[in-house]
Amino acid sequence: MTLVALDHIALVVNDLDAAIDGYTKLLGRAPDWRGASSPVRHAWFQLGNTALDIIAPGDQGPSGAWLAAHGEGLWGLAFATDDMESERRRLERLSIPSTEAFPIRTRSEAGEARIWPTSILDAEGTHGVTVFLIGDTPDWPVAPATGDEAAAVSGLDHVVVSTRHPNRAAALYGARMGLDFKLDRTNEAWGSRLMFFKVGDLVVEVAHRLKDEPNDDPDSLWGLTWRVPDIDAAHARMTAAGLTLSDIRDGRKPGTRVCTIKDAPAGVPTLILGASA
C-alpha cells in the first residue's frame, strides 16, 4: 500500500474571507498560507495529521463546476502517496483510472510559491467522491494557534463518507484503495451501519442509514470530526468567538466527550471530540 496519509481535505466556498474567519474561530488557528492560482484563491490550515484547504474557485475548473452543481461544502479527499506512478498503475489495474500527474502551483500574497504533484482519480471509479493523489511535499508548519494551544483543534479524528451502497464502499476503500479496515458495526439504535478505514492516525468513516435501501446512487462527503486536547477549553473558546455549540456529552467511543457545532462554516456537519475529564 502506498497511500500513507490523508494529505488534506478540500472545501469549496463562495466567500473565501468569510470562510477563513469562520474556520479561524472553529479551529483556533490562523491559516498558515493564503494563496492564489489566478483567478482561484485559497487558504490552507495545516494541522498535526492533515490539512484543510479552503478554495474559492468562482466558476473555474473542476472545483468551480462542483461548486456550481452542489453549492458550498466538502469537495474532495487528497491522499498522500509515497510513489505516485506505482499507485496510479495499481489503481488502474483495479479499475480506478486517474489523470497524469500534474503540478498544482499557488503563490502567496507575499510572493512565495508552493507546488504539489497531483493526480485526480476517475469519479466513476470512486463512486462520485472526488479523490486526489498527492506526491511528495515538504513538511509545512502547523498553522499557528490564535490563543491557548489546548483549546485549539490539534487534528482530524475522522471524515465521514455517506453511502447508499455500503458493500460497494467497503470494496472501494478497503480492497481497492488499500486503507486499513478496522471496524464494521451496525447499530439499530443509531439507525446506521458504520465502517472505519484507517489511514495514518485518522479514519475515513463510511456511514449508511439503515432506512435507506442500498442502491447505486453516488457516495458523498458528509462531515468532519476534529480532535481537541481540552474539550472544555475548546467549547468555551468557540462559544466566546460566536459559534453555536451543543452541550458537551459523552461520545459513542468509550473515554471520549463530544459536542456539535451547529453553524459550522459552509454548512459542514461538524463534531468536536476530546478525552473524558
The topology (CATH level 3) of 3-134 is: 2,3-Dihydroxybiphenyl 1,2-Dioxygenase; domain 1 (3.10.180)
Least confident of 179-183, 185-189, 234-238: 185-189
- Counting residues of the chain whose pLDDT is more than 90, the rounded percentage is 90
Instruction: Answer for the pair 118, 137: CB distance below 8 angstroms, yes or no.
Output: no
The topology (CATH level 3) of 149-275 is: 2,3-Dihydroxybiphenyl 1,2-Dioxygenase; domain 1 (3.10.180)
> Across residues 243-250, what is the average pLDDT?
98
Q: Residue for cell digits 475529564?
A: 277
- Tell me the torsion sign for CA atoms 264, 147, 11, 57: positive
CATH 3.10.180.10 in the chain: give the residue spans: 3-134, 149-275
> Across residues 34-60, what is the average pLDDT?
93
pLDDT tens digit string along 135-183? 988 888 999 999 999 999 999 999 999 999 999 999 999 999 999 999 9
Give me the phi and psi of 80, to 5 degrees please.
-80, 135
Pairing assessment for the beta strands 192-199 and 202-209 based on DSSP bridges: antiparallel
pTM: 0.96
Helices (H), 83-230: 84-93, 166-170
Give 49's pLDDT tier (boundaries 50, 70, 90): very high
Q: Which residue type sits at 161?
A: V
pLDDT tens digit string along 79-120? 999 999 999 999 999 999 999 999 998 999 888 999 999 999
- Counting residues of the chain whose pLDDT is more than 70, the rounded percentage is 100
| C-alpha closest to that of 30 among 113, 126, 153 | 153
Beta-sheet strand order (sheet of 192-199): 180-187, 192-199, 202-209, 155-162, 220-227, 270-275, 256-261, 249-250
pLDDT greater than 90 at residue 60: no
Mean pLDDT score of the chain: 95
CA 22 from chain center: how many Å? 16
CA 13 from chain center: how many Å? 14
Paired with 237 in beta bridges are none
